[in-house]
Amino acid sequence: MLDHRTEAVPALMTPERALDPSLTEHEVAELSHAASDQVRAAVAERHDVSVITMLKLARDSSPEVRASVARNSRPDMPEEILVELADDKSREVVYALIYNPAVPTSVLAHLARPFRQGPAGAARARLAQRTAPSSVTSRRRSSRRH
């Protein structure tokens, strides 16, 4: 199998370099193909990565990289990527999604399905945290009406 990842001078391919805000879009795209899982994971943490690159990183062979995508709290993350990660075989990836505050309730509900033993309980707990304040507010409103 041919590995398409870039082998470059180590000083230029570090996680710290991948997080540098002054990088161009082209440089970030190059780093997303680095041989190092840590460098690709750092790229996946960025909020300015193109959706195409983020999709590729979400399908990376390394659970560490996919978990970084799952932790990324960018507001415009396509829900399709998050749903795909919700079905990941790696618990690290699934739990990263569950504890990401930017993940929509619909994805948490997907994760809360009963056949997922540990992750389902954690997802249901996160859903309960999200719905608890609104249900208290609803009860307050209804008690004022009576």
What mean pLDDT is reported for the chain? 83
If DSSP codes are grouped into helix, strand and coil, which group holds residue 7?
coil
Taking 70 as the threshold, does the pLDDT of residue 99 lie above it?
Answer: yes
List, for residues 2-45, the tens digit of each pLDDT value: 344 544 445 578 999 999 999 999 999 999 999 999 999 999 99
Taking 90 as the threshold, does the pLDDT of residue 114 lie above it?
Answer: no
Q: For residue 122, what is the DSSP state?
A: H
Mean pLDDT to the nearest integer, 52-72: 97
Nearest to 97 by CA among 114, 77, 115: 77
Domain boundaries, the chain: 10-145
Question: pTM for the whole thing?
Answer: 0.75
Taking 60 as the threshold, does the pLDDT of residue 130 lie above it?
Answer: yes
